Amino acid sequence: MTIIDVARAAGVAPSTVSYVLSGKRSISPQTRRAVEQSIRKLGYHPHAGARSLATSRTNVLALVAPLREDLTVMDFVAAVATAARNHDQDLLLLTKDEGPAALRRVISSAIADALIVMEVEAADPRVPTLLALDRPVVLIGAPDQPVDLSSVDLDFAAAGGRCVEHLADLGHRSIAMVGPAPSVYQRGISSAGRFLSGLTDAAQAHGVVAKARPCAHNYDAVRACLDALLATEPTGLVVNNEAVLPTVLAELHRRGLRVPDDISVVAVCSDSAATSGAVPLTTVPIPTVELGELAVEMIIRQLGRDAQPETRLLAPRLTPRASTALRS
């Protein structure tokens, strides 16, 4: 399938098809529609090398993602890949472990037009490199200090506050939180710190006693975490660690604590994880699809030279389910 086949089907010259694809010349709406319909009908895809030579672009976006088994990370990757394809962009996946050197290599070799960077740390060491690259960049996550880069994220401070507000409205006055692994706090992952700050501030505002502990991803760590938290006799539990959520629920059951009769549970997790157990969980989901789409849209605007750096924080959405109840 070539550009000549598309031109023949649309009844135009091959150069007209080229102009429609490159956008280098103004084409009448009627002709453009005829060409686009022929492209869709024939399933034509421009050759990447030829497209790059014609436009000085690769139509490839690089996504820098952490290398680990994590459903949320994979949801983000899938969302960004889908959104990229909707904008006729391909996706190059890089691992966060490669560090700033990988960012410089990708840009210097001209194999990607722009970068989307996940799991941003509070003082992220990649930021100086990203600022120096002179390429469109969007961060999924937000550094503690403002930088001249666009970013998009869930408003984790508001999410922490929303969990407390929900439990407080149900009459709970003692709340505990199972937080991310200690390594997450040690690396300065900004979302973890913002969630904890939001939870703590909301607890103080509502007259609620709140205790929080980090929790590593193993059974012994979950047991030790719950030993410490349950000693404070909380009636509400917030779990901001999807990896240990099933183990937390199983351990509550083993200890004879019924959800929500004895303890109400709010989780930060996907809706699919929330509804997979015996008791559907009240959740604040991370909107991976919306965040992925927004990140790609922000990159596309930057590629069009029609955007200034911006920060977008999405308001959290709490979905009440059977795991939370009025405090009797």
Same domain, 124 and 188: no
Indicate whether 320 belongs to any domain. no
pLDDT of 166 > 90? The answer is yes
Same domain, 101 and 27: no
pLDDT of residue 216: 97
Indicate whether 322 belongs to any domain. no
Helix, strand, coil percent content, the chain, rounded in steps of 5: 45, 15, 35
- The domain of 172 spans 156-283
The CATH number of residue 43's host domain is 1.10.260.40
Are residues 291 and 154 in contact, defined by beta-carbon separation less than 8 angstroms? yes
How would you classify residue 141: left for phi > 0, otherwise alpha for psi between -120 and 50, otherwise beta? left
Same domain, 98 and 8: no
Q: Which amino acid is at 165?
A: E
* Residue, of 98 and 257, whose pLDDT is higher: 257
The CATH number of residue 110's host domain is 3.40.50.2300
Same domain, 214 and 255: yes
* Residue, of 261 and 69, whose pLDDT is higher: 261
Q: Using DSSP, state whether 40 is helix, strand or coil.
A: helix
Same domain, 132 and 204: no
Indicate whether 47 belongs to any domain. yes
* 139-158: pLDDT as tens digits: 998 877 778 899 999 999 99
Indicate whether 323 belongs to any domain. no
Indicate whether 327 belongs to any domain. no
Distance CA 278, CA 125 (A): 43
Which DSSP helix (H) or strand (E) runs through 297? helix 288-303
Same domain, 308 and 250: no
Q: Using DSSP, state whether 151 is helix, strand or coil.
A: strand
In the sheet with 282-283, reading across from the earlier edge strand, the strands are 209-214, 174-179, 236-239, 264-267, 282-283
Structurally, the chain folds into a number of domains equal to 3
Same domain, 103 and 141: yes
Indicate whether 277 belongs to any domain. yes
If you average pLDDT over residues 93-115, what whole number do you get? 81
Indicate whether 149 belongs to any domain. yes
Same domain, 34 and 80: no
Distance CA 19, CA 1 (A): 18
pLDDT category at 53 given cuts 50, 70, 90 is very low
Are residues 240 and 179 in contact, defined by beta-carbon separation less than 8 angstroms? yes
Global pTM value: 0.80
* 228-260: pLDDT as tens digits: 999 999 999 999 999 999 999 999 999 999 999
Same domain, 70 and 145: yes
Same domain, 100 and 166: no
Give φ, ψ of 56 to 5 degrees: 65, 25
Retrieve residue 46's tokens. 């421009």
Same domain, 114 and 138: yes
* Residue, of 122 and 146, whose pLDDT is higher: 122
Same domain, 72 and 51: no
pLDDT of residue 45: 67
Indicate whether 177 belongs to any domain. yes
Distance CA 137, CA 129 (A): 11
Distance CA 138, CA 312 (A): 11
For residue 30, give Cα distances in angstroms to 10, 17, 175.
11, 13, 62
For residue 55, give Cα distances in angstroms to 3, 44, 107, 109, 226.
16, 18, 16, 16, 57
Neighbours of 246 (CB within 10 A): 13
